[in-house]
Amino acid sequence: MKKILLVEDDLSLRENIAELLDLSGFLVFDAANGMIAIEIAKKECPDLILCDIMMPELDGYGVLEVLSSYEETKHIPFIFVSAKTERQDVRRGMDMGADDYLTKPFEEEELLSAIHSRLEKAKLMDSAFSARFEAIKNKNEIRSLHELKNFFDDHGEQYSFKKEETIYNEGDHSNNVYLILKGVAKCYKLEEQGKELITALYAADEFLGFTSLMENIPYQECAVAIEDVELVGISKSKLKTILEENQKVSLELMEVMAGNISQIKEQLLQMAYSSVRKKTARTLLQFEKAMNQGLEKPLQITRGDLANVAGIATESLIRTLSDFKNEGLISVENRKIRILDQESLQYIN
């Protein structure tokens, strides 16, 4: 059953259209304004959106603009339904990426014809993309994890995030897997009191957002750029096709995921049983591995992020960093930390 999101602030009209669509075999979600519509679209990923233009809080143009910025909603067919009939209004909607424009009042047949036409077009586009993907896959057979990363780089959709910009939020639908090309990202969860717990760090040449091969599974944590991040992503459906075709790539990817789980377990054990000095030392080394990757440069990282990974209070971390500085293990300049004695940090108890 196809899902349709109906966005209309007129209650009577919204109920009438919803009843028509329901009788026509569609599963209907309705919203009285643009802000509600965005939340429903992100949660339900409808097959098509019918949207009024003149609405309170956020108009239809704003809804289209916001949903076009999210990977999981940017390709959803979008039809404006409005009493605005001026040429410039229609042109503006189409220029923004709307697929069709219906003017009120309209006949039932006109509405249903527009919906079926756009759904059929979307189906044809999906089939065409699948055919292109099969041609690419057959031409460039992927036989190893290295070749899989090259496939991401060559054919994935590119994204850029500034420092401290959110990549995805907990609860967002997980429909893509990403490969980081540059920069470092952190994943974290918030406890009941709102304290941030960093669960993992991801650096260049590592996969991000791999929760499950099933689509629409919500992310269980948030991901944020620690420094400027560039990454590429492909849909889970495409990745699943690749893995089904090649057992060796599947096994290599499973080893990567098993390694990530082992690192998280080790971090939890460290947080539970290690001393403050050991937690701080291990966290510094963890950030250096993720951010420097062999480059001898200072770590530019917030004390809060360090404390959240180590699982200690920020005040305790700052005191321990001061001790390390006095012992000649690190240097601190303008809040940047440079590790001077890596070996000694490794053996701190």
pLDDT at 101: 86
Domain range annotation of the chain = 3-122, 145-271, 274-346
271 pLDDT above the threshold of 60 = no
Going by their DSSP bridges, the two strands 222-225 and 3-7 should be labelled as unpaired
Name the architecture of domain 145-271. Sandwich (2.60)
84 pLDDT above the threshold of 60 = yes
CATH class of 274-346: mainly alpha
pLDDT at 22: 93
Of residues 297 and 338, the one with the higher pLDDT is 338
Name the architecture of domain 3-122. 3-Layer(aba) Sandwich (3.40)
Whether 3-122 and 274-346 share one fold: the answer is no
User: How does pLDDT run across 86-96, given as a tens digit for each residue?
Assistant: 667 666 777 77
User: How does pLDDT run across 23-35, given as a tens digit for each residue?
Assistant: 999 999 999 999 9
122 pLDDT above the threshold of 70 = yes
49 pLDDT above the threshold of 90 = yes
